Structure 1
Amino acid sequence: MSSVFLMLLLLVLVLIIHSHGADSNASCIKSERDALLNFKKCLTDPSNRLGSWVEEDCCLWEGISCSERNGHVTKLDLRNPQGSIFWFKWKKSAIGANFVGKLPHFIGNLSSLQVLDLSHNLELTVDSLFFASTLTSLKYLDLNSLDLSKVDDWLSSINMLPSLMELHLSLCALHSFPSFLHVNFTSLAILDLSSNYFNSTIPHWFSNISNVQNLDLSESALRGSLPSELSDASFLKLLHFCNLLELDLGANSFSGEIGEVFGNSSGCVHSSLRKLDLSRNNFRGSLPDKLENFKHLEYLALSNNYLLGPIPESVGRISNLKELSLNFNSLNGSIPPSLGQLSKLEILDMSNNLLNGSIPQSLGQLSKLDVLDIHNNSLDCIVSELHFSQLKSLTRLVMYGNSIVFDIEPTWVAPFQLQSLYLSSCKVGPKFPQWLISQTNNSLEFLDLYNTSIFDAIPDWFESISSNIQWLDLSHNQITKHLPKLTRTSLDGSTRVIYLNSNKFEGPLTAFPPDVEVLDISDNFLWGQIPQKIGKMMPNLHFLSLSNNHLNGSIPNSLCKMTHLSYLDLSRNQLSGALPQCWQLGMHENEFTGAIPPWIGENISSLAILSIHSNMFEGEIPPQLCRLASLRVLNLAKNKVTGTLPPCFGNFTSMIVDDPGFVDYWLSSFSFPVLFQMPDRWTAYNEHVLAYMKGRELLYNKTLVFLFSIDVSDNDLFGEIPKELVNLSLIQNLNLSGNNFKGQIPLQIGKLKSLESLDLSRNELSGSIPPSISALNFLSYLNLSFNNLSGPIPHGNQLQTLDDKSIYIGNSKLCGPPLESCQEMEPPGHGKPVEGSNKDDEFDMLWFYCGLGVGFMAGFVGVCSTLYFKTPWRRTSFQLVDKVFNYLWVIVAIKINQLRRKFSRGESRDQQP
């Protein structure tokens, strides 16, 4: 009997296990499978991410998870696998991973869904979130980066989800908060509404989400001020959420005293809050001592506000602080030594303030500090190895923009391995910093020793620490001897930028790493020829500047095989021979001869700058240059160019069409897949152009993209100035001086609305100055001297401020301010006939007098006819004539009698003895 009982018990157990196994392998519900298939049909899937959605059991499909108990779909994870929005700028594959189309409402049929993630599908459009209101079991919803700009029911739909714990709607183009008094978000723990454009204050219904732990409202155009907000406390209410762990209100328009923000927070939030970001707002005032009440705070960001006063010592008592960002304010005073007590601190950024005094040695005890950034302050001190003694975790040190002197023993071994070191304009020299030899882990990526008073040669060991440097700037020092050995390719294949310009390097041009893309060794004492195989040595070059050296010989043709080269400056050398066919030409102040090559306009239509001034080019200007639609700077000055100025110069598209996108194109053509965060220099190229403008030579570098200029001065050009030039509405500098131009100044020169500098001096121009020249509102420099101009000088607007007589000197027939008055000169028409008058002029004058006579007769007959037919008018007119006649007759009679009396008196006096 007992054995039978045991067998029955065993059978029951087997049945139970089998039943449980069946449940655990339960296939998905048919209705939900059909909903998912309909969802798939409505979308375009370019990367075939839904390729697995063909099996019978939808629980096995990619992105789908089901309940082991009943087979219902509980999770739908179809986020873009390429990651956040910031990758889309660089990864084409991220765009290909997008779903394309309108979000189907079939998702609403997945009644047991708990997790829905469709984030970062940029090409997925949404008209309504009503489908979400039926997902009553939903706990996690992430629609980051979807366009919800047309969705008006987002809050009402989500308000129907009582179980929702996480809501992510960042970068969704939401533009307003619906007018709700209360919301049903009692379970909500994480709310992310960042990077939208609400343009409002924080709504009252936020007081119903007091259980929230992480709240991100950054970059959402929210506003609110203190103390005006204290009445409803909608802003300060957030600092009374006792469960709040992270609060991010950065990059909005909140304002008020920063002390009131911390002074009106509740005691419970002092214990709970771990992260507080109020950066990039309009808070003002001094930092309060009450900051130390937030004892568990790990992250505090108050940067980019209007804070002033000193940093309180109490900040050093927030013992759990890991990141402190106070940059871009107006904080002054000294750095408090108490910051050295923040033993957990990893990031300290106090840059771009007004801090002064010295750097406390206590900062050198922060063994976990990863980033120390104090650049652009007024610190004036000496630092030694004691300031860095325990900074074994330091990877980024930024101290430029201060008066800091490094006094470090050459034998000191740094305890850290840096990735970024920015010391520009600090006094590091005169010797090359020997302590850098300890950076042996090839971790150094950014090294900026610009203008650091180094009067020394680069040591041989420098090559061993430089193999992985992406940005090297040793420019503007007095570094001597040969160029450094930098022949090794970076370990990770990163882009490399090398600035060695403005030093005292000498010797021949040596080899550089083959992966370098930007190389500037201008303003040195290099001699010899440019290597013939330079194009093979550095095939990835985008930017090359060798200007102002002593290089000679010809330009290697291999330069033109460098397919990435977009900026080349070889000016101020002793180069000779023919020009190679390169993309961008800056070859002024050399000894090039022959004609300007026509292929420049034929083969490189995207050329933006053509500067070949101060050479010995001759012959006519090739009309092919007119094909340079992107040309913004043309400098052919100081050559021997002859012929006329091509009228098609008025067709340079980039000087006519104001295209805002062109600046982006210009910069993007000089950009890299990696954005180099170089202090004060956010672009990798420091290209520059010298332009003779406003009577002097000006250097353009950062503003080069905004310069529009044509300079053909000091050549042998002749003929008339083409009237087509007035089409160049964006041109700022036009210099045609020192040629043999004849004829008149173009009558419509006033159409050059952007013109700032106009130089037409030393030509043979004649006629009057066009009145339209007074319409040039931005004109600040004008030179019309030594021509044959005549007549009055126009006046008005900006022209009235140009009162220097030298502007018009050498034009003897000009008059009017600032020269002598036109009334003091012989009026036109007197003296000799004007040359060029002919029978056509006499014929025109005859017709003028004939027309004048006909007009007079017509008017006279009209008046007489009216008086003949209108009797009252005739009587009134004749009475008026009679009165006027009588009045005049009386006046004349009186005058005659007075004259008679005078004569009679004079005669009587003469007759007296």
Structure 2
Amino acid sequence: MDTLYSNLFNPLYISHFLLLLFLASSYLHTSSHFCFSLVDGVPSTSSVRSCIKEERSALLSFKQDLKDPSGRLSSWVDHDCCQWEGISCNNRTGHVVKLSLRNPYHLIWYDEEWDELAYNQSCLGGKINSSLLSLKYLNYLDLSYNDFDGIHIPKFFGELKSLRYLNISSASFSGEIPPSLGNLSKLNYLDLDHSFRTHSKNLNWISHLSSLKYLNLNRVNLSSVGVTNLLHHVNMLPSLLELHLSRCLVESARVPLSLQKINFTSLSVLDLSYNFFNTSSFPNWLFNLTSLRKLDLSLNFFSCPFPGELASLKSLEYLDLSYLGLKGRISRVIGHLSKLKFLSLRWNYFSGEKIEEFFWSLSNYPNNTIALESLDLSDCGLEGQLPASLGMLKSLKHLDLSGLLLWGSIPESIGNLSSLQTLELSGSYRNGSIPKSLGKLSELVTLDLSWNYCEGFLTEAHFTNLTRLKHLQIFKDEIAKPMCPIFNVAYDWVPPFKLHNLYISDCKVGPGFSIMLQSQTELVGVGLSNTFISDSIPKEWLSKISSQVKYLDLSYNNFSGRLPSQLKFPKLQSINLGHNQLEGPLPLWPTNVISLDLQSNLFAGPIPSNLDQLMPKLIYLDVSENLLNGTIPLSICNMKDMEVISLRNNQLFGEFPQRWSFWSGIIIIDVSHNNLSGHIPSSMDIPSSLETFKVNNNNFSGEIPFSLQNCTSLIVLNLGGNKFTGNLPLWIGSNVSTLEVLQLRSNLLSGHIPPHFCNLPHLHVLDLAHNNFSGTISKCLKNMTCLVEVNYTCRSFFSHGDYYGKTTITSKGKELEYGDGQLAEWGNMIDLSSNSFEGEIPEQVGSLVELSTLNLSRNRLTGEIPSSIGKLRWLETLDLSQNQLSGHIPQNFSSLTSLSHLNLSYNNLIGNIPSGNQLQTLNDPSFYEGNPLLCGAPLSIVCPGDDTRSRQTFTSGDHSKDDSEMFWFYISMALGFIIGFWAV
């Protein structure tokens, strides 16, 4: 010990120690620059050594061809390129090894809203200079989330042989993916995710990437490759850990049920979602991927029983089988997947299975270790009563049980879900009360109780500990009028939360609600539609709403009077005060408003001529069903961002604006039910974005604008109730084949229907009534696919965003007004009435089995009624009146069990009127009048032959009776009719 102490204080030892300490500190200082970090799984280094001169020059040449509006590359000026933004060098050699120029704003959100301006300004663009080839040691290249404006992916990327990481996703490249990428044999990570702008015709190059661990081809058009060929090449990658093939446009392809040999057995992530694969069996090879942690097959068409073999994938933590059309039992399988953290079975058909069984299977996991954090069972067919075992899912953060057939109350045990952040019970049709234990969910952020059938009130007790609640939504179900939860709180109640979004609709709020609303100073979105608020002037209510509001909806209330000239909402972007009784001139508010909905009020006066200056950012304008007059101001065409404009049902006059082609992104134009006149301006620049064009019930004249042929996405075209002349445009069915609703009724149009007019596979409504069309009815009607059979391409017209216009449909002898989003209620219809069509009704009409209305009345049609009409199972209205039809009424008309309106009057029909089924309820004689040779109920004319045999003969449709007897019967009736007529 003495020796040790003496050595420690020996001057020689001390000097050596100080020297070592100095060297160590120098080493640590130097080595601090060797810190390795993992960026997206790829190691990179920061550097202290100056970069190579040649590589610096290459980077400057690369920069020179780029567009950099935000100055992200402003640091690329000094001598040491290794210190530039986005550049990393190897510390030992000084070579550039990493180029990371991902848009930093790709995941930035402000106030829960995408900051599009910041994103666009920070996008790099321009061209990719091949000077990058001088960076021979570059192993990491990231250009994702920029905007290269449709240029092709550079082929020379395939010569960057040192690359291990390549990410050019969402960077607006286009064209074919260069096969030269197959030369990157060292590549571990490849992300080519693009918004359907890139494609590949041959994937042979993929099989050469033997080191690949991560492959993302999401939204790359692989329609010409085929799913079998695609999986064949992917199967050549033995090191693959993650495979993303979502939205690759391989619709209707069949997934191979088996593969000869599975090479990518190490796969841990597989995403095949949104491809609309069509198969009736589950692919067997999936069950061999026992290392899978994440499996996403959502939005495909498997339509098969839920596979029990899924229980073998015991490593699964994430399973999304939503929108697959699966059926059968699921509880036993799910009970084996004890590691699941995310499970979505949304939109399947597990009808008949009780929800109690499902939760029982979860509660019987080994040692009750339930790992589930997110569970989505919405609209999957489960039914029953929520069991108390629901409260055992202690790790659950997100629960969605929307659209299930549940009864009874929510169990009190729901208060045990201490981690729950999202609870969605929309449309589950429960008939019990909402437990006060809901107030124990202290982590709850989102609560959705909309579209339900529940009893009782929501009181302070339901919100006791909901300090984190940000989003609350309560809507009434349409059939639950007397049992809607009423927001009933005391006047002096101070909520424990600060909401960001509050949406209450079709529910009566209590008297203390307005005070509670005033305490919510952080509200961004407010929707209080049809909440039975009544106020002569809404100024008081508006003063109680947070000044931070961006989205405000007070529609369908009883507000009246005039609005204030100024609003206190500086951030307001969307306002909906529709369906009230507000009056005065059209109000115009903050310049940052992008959506203004004032429909169905009492606003009067002209539309301001300087609308473009007052509201320059306006995208959505709906002032329909008011008392506005004057002309449409020309300045409205200067609002180039306009997408939806509805001026329907006012008192506007004058001509349509000449410069409407300035609306480069317009989607919906509705100026119907006004007094507009003149020609619709025709320009070759009419935007191709137009989807809905309604000018019906005005005084327009001239021919249908030829330039509408540019609108290749047109869904609804309504020109009815005007004075248009000329023939049917040839572009309908050729250039434009997307139409779902075509209404040209009540015009002065003429000519024949061209054959290619049938090339409208998506058509649901065809109304050409009250014109001067002639010729025969085409036999090609069967080409209208959505009238023949329903498939997933038959979209059923839905309106853009929040816009729901109105359209008048003539059916069942009446004019019925429907909302544009109610096509399911309209049904499918063809109305060719009041024209000059001649010839026979084609037998092919019987193939349109989805029709609900067929009106061919007031034409010159001849021949017999085709018996194929009896096959139209959904037909509700059939009108063939006032033609020259002859022969018998087909006996199989008794099979039309949906028929509720029939008119065969004023033709030359003969024989017995069929009876049975639905026809017995159509007992109005006017349906058959004007056919003197018809007999039988409901007409007063008795058919010949009172004996049973004679009646059976007519009823069965057997016309084998003695020909001469029938001949003289009809001769005698005809002579009697003629003699009687002349006698009169």
Does the TM-score normalized on the shorter chain lie above 0.5? yes
Q: Contact 2:381 / 2:404 at 8 angstroms: preserved in 1?
A: yes
State the partner residue of 1:417.
Answer: 548
TM-score, normalization by structure 1: 0.67
In the alignment, which residue of structure 2 is the partner of 1:910?
Answer: none
Give the Cα separation in 1 of the matches to 2:354 and 2:796: 41
What do residues 595-647 of structure 1 show as CA deviations (whole Å, max 9, x unaligned)? 43564668755355553433445xx63343663422654444334x37x5324
Q: Which residue is equivalent to 2:754?
A: 624
Following superposition, the deviation at residue 308 of structure 1 comes to 3.5
2:769 matches 1:637: yes
Pairing partner for 2:519 from 373, 379, 390: 390
Kindly indicate whether residue 375 of structure 2 is the aligned counterpart of residue 248 of structure 1. yes
Amino acid at match of 1:451: H
Q: By how many angstroms is 1:525 displaced?
A: 1.0
CA distance, structure 2, for counterparts of residue 76 and residue 598 of structure 1: 55
1:829 is matched by which residue type in structure 2?
A: W
Indicate which of 448, 470, 474 corresponds to 1:350: 474
Is 1:456 the counterpart of 2:584? The answer is yes
1-side partners of 2:349 and 2:679: how far apart?
59
Counterpart of 1:546?
A: 671
Say whether 1:191 aligns with 2:309: no
Unaligned runs of 5+ in 2: 1-11, 44-138, 140-151, 168-185, 200-215, 249-254, 478-482, 710-715, 947-964, 976-984
- 1:337 to 1:624, Cα distance in 2 relative to 1, 3 A: same
Taking structure 1 as reference, are residues 483 and 155 closer, same or farther at Cα in structure 2, changes over 3 Å only?
Answer: same
Find 1:698's aligned residue among 808, 813, 816.
816
Shift of 1:524: 0.6
Matches within 5 A, 1:754-773: 755-771=875-891, 773=893
* Structure-1 separation of matches of 2:587 and 2:861: 58
Decide whether the 8 Å contact of 1:80 with 1:119 is kept in 2. Answer: no
Residue 546 of structure 2 aligns with an amino acid whose one-letter code is P
Which residue in 2 is equivalent to 1:150? 283
What letter is aligned with 1:246? E
User: Match of 1:790, SS?
Assistant: strand
For residue 551 of structure 1, what is the amino acid of its counterpart?
L
Asked if structure 2 preserves the Cα contact closer than 8 Å seen for 1:756 and 1:780, the reply is yes
Quote the Cα distance in structure 2 between the aligned partners of 1:24 and 1:465: 47
Residue correspondence of structure 1 range 473-872 to structure 2 within 5 A: 473-483=597-607, 486-487=611-612, 496-510=619-633, 511-512=635-636, 513-536=639-662, 538-558=663-683, 561-581=686-706, 582=708, 585-592=717-724, 595-596=726-727, 599=730, 606=737, 609-617=741-749, 621-624=751-754, 627-630=757-760, 633-639=765-771, 641=772, 644-648=774-778, 651=781, 653-654=783-784, 658-661=788-791, 664=794, 667=797, 676=801, 678=802, 684=803, 686=805, 688-691=807-810, 693-700=811-818, 701-704=820-823, 707-715=827-835, 717=836, 720-723=839-842, 726=845, 729-730=848-849, 731-741=851-861, 744-746=864-866, 750=870, 755-771=875-891, 773-819=893-939, 820-823=941-944, 828-829=967-968
Match of 1:399 among 528, 532, 547: 528
CA distance in 2, matches of 1:821, 1:120: 71
Deviations 1:582-603 (A, max 9, x none): 45753333344x5435646687
Does the Cα contact within 8 Å between 1:50 and 1:62 map onto a contact in 2? no
Distance 1:333 1:103, change over 3 A: farther
The structure that is helix-richer by fraction is: 1
User: Which one-letter code corresponds to 1:552 in the other structure?
Assistant: S
In structure 2, do the counterparts of structure 1 residues 671 and 528 end up closer, same or farther at CA, with 3 Å as the change threshold? Answer: closer
Report the alpha carbon displacement of residue 334 of structure 1 after superposing the two structures with TM: 1.2
Separation (CA, whole Å) in 1 of partners of 2:689 and 2:682: 15
1:36-47 matches, within 5 Å, as none
Give 1:786's aligned amino acid. Y
CA distance in 1, matches of 2:844, 2:36: 81
Q: 1:490 to 1:481 in 2, by over 3 A?
A: closer
The 5 A counterparts of 1:116-515 are 116-120=241-245, 141-145=268-272, 150-151=283-284, 154=287, 157-158=290-291, 167-171=293-297, 176-178=307-309, 191-195=317-321, 200-203=329-332, 209=338, 214-216=341-343, 219=346, 225=354, 234-237=361-364, 241=368, 244=371, 246-248=373-375, 250-251=377-378, 257-262=385-390, 265=392, 281=404, 283-295=406-418, 297-341=420-464, 342-352=466-476, 354-360=483-489, 365=495, 367-376=497-506, 378-379=507-508, 381=510, 385-405=514-534, 408-409=539-540, 412=543, 414-432=545-563, 437-442=567-572, 444-445=573-574, 447-460=575-588, 462-466=589-593, 468-469=594-595, 472-483=596-607, 486-487=611-612, 496-510=619-633, 511-512=635-636, 513-515=639-641
239 and 418 in structure 1: CA distance in 2 versus 1, 3 angstrom threshold? farther
Q: 1:754 to 1:571 in 2, by over 3 A?
A: same
Compared with structure 1, are the counterparts of its residues 792 and 414 closer, same or farther at alpha carbon in structure 2 (3 Å cutoff)?
closer
Secondary structure in structure 1 of the residue aligned to 2:317: strand
Return the alpha-carbon distance in structure 2 between the equivalents of residues 651 and 798 of structure 1: 26
The 1:781/1:287 distance shift into structure 2, 3 A limit, reads: closer
Q: Distance in 2 between matches of 1:397 and 1:776?
A: 49
Q: Secondary structure at the match of 1:516?
A: coil
1:336–1:274: structure 2 CA closer, same or farther, 3 Å change rule?
same
Distance in 1 of aligned mates of 2:309 and 2:218: 33
Which secondary structure does the structure 2 equivalent of 1:576 belong to?
Answer: strand
Task: Give deviations 1:671-709, integer Å, cap 9, x for gaps.
Answer: 77xxx3x4xxxxx45362432x32222335445477544
Q: What are structure 1's unaligned runs of at least 5 residues?
A: 29-36, 38-45, 64-74, 111-115, 159-165, 679-683, 837-913
**Which amino acid counterpart does residue 929 of structure 2 have in structure 1?**
I
Amino acid at match of 1:533: R
The whole-number CA distance in structure 2 between the counterparts of 1:22 and 1:254 is 57
Contact 2:869 2:893 in 1 (8 A): yes
Preserved contact between residue 764 and residue 796 of structure 2 (Cα < 8 Å): no
Distance 1:78 1:171, change over 3 A: farther
Structure 2 length-normalised TM: 0.63
Amino acid of the structure 2 residue aligned with 1:150? P
Query: Shift in Å at residue 421 of structure 1?
Result: 2.7
Higher RCO (CA-CA < 8 Å; seq separation 6+): 1
Alpha-carbon RMSD across the aligned residues, in angstroms, is 5.3
Q: How far has the Cα of 1:93 moved from its partner?
A: 8.4
Query: Larger Rg: 1 or 2?
Result: 1
SS of equivalent to 2:926 = helix
Q: For residues 383 and 454 of structure 1, do their structure 2 counterparts lie closer, same or farther at Cα, with a shift above 3 Å needed?
A: farther
Taking a change above 3 Å as real, the CA distance of residues 827 and 290 of structure 1, as seen in their structure-2 partners, is closer
The Cα of 1:129 is off from its aligned counterpart by 10
Q: How far 1:783 moved relative to its partner?
A: 2.0
Contact 1:688 1:699 in 2 (8 A): yes
Deviation string for 1:38-85 (max 9, x for gaps)? xxxxxxxx96899579646x8x5559xxxxxxxxxxx99747464999
**Equivalent in the alignment of 2:127:** none
Q: After TM superposition, give the deviation of residue 523 of structure 1 in Å.
A: 0.7
Contact 2:936–2:942 (CA under 8 A) maintained in structure 1 = yes
Q: 1:236 to 1:401 in 2, by over 3 A?
A: farther
Counterparts of 1:712 and 1:334 in 2: how far apart (Å)? 53
Report how far residue 521 of structure 1 moved. Answer: 1.0
Task: Rate the CA distance shift 1:228–1:405 in 2: closer, same or farther, 3 A.
Answer: same
TM-superposed CA distance for 1:363, in Å, is 7.5
Counterpart CA distance in 1 for 2:159 and 2:282 is 30
Asked if structure 2 preserves the Cα contact closer than 8 Å seen for 1:383 and 1:405, the reply is no
Match of 2:205 in 1: none
Change in CA separation of 1:439 and 1:663 when aligned onto 2, cut-off 3 Å: farther
How much identity, in percent, do the aligned residues show?
24
Query: How far is 1:829 from its partner?
Result: 0.8
Q: Deviations over 1:397-441 (max 9, x none)?
A: 233244233665278264342333333312233333778x12212
The CA deviation at 1:545 is 1.8
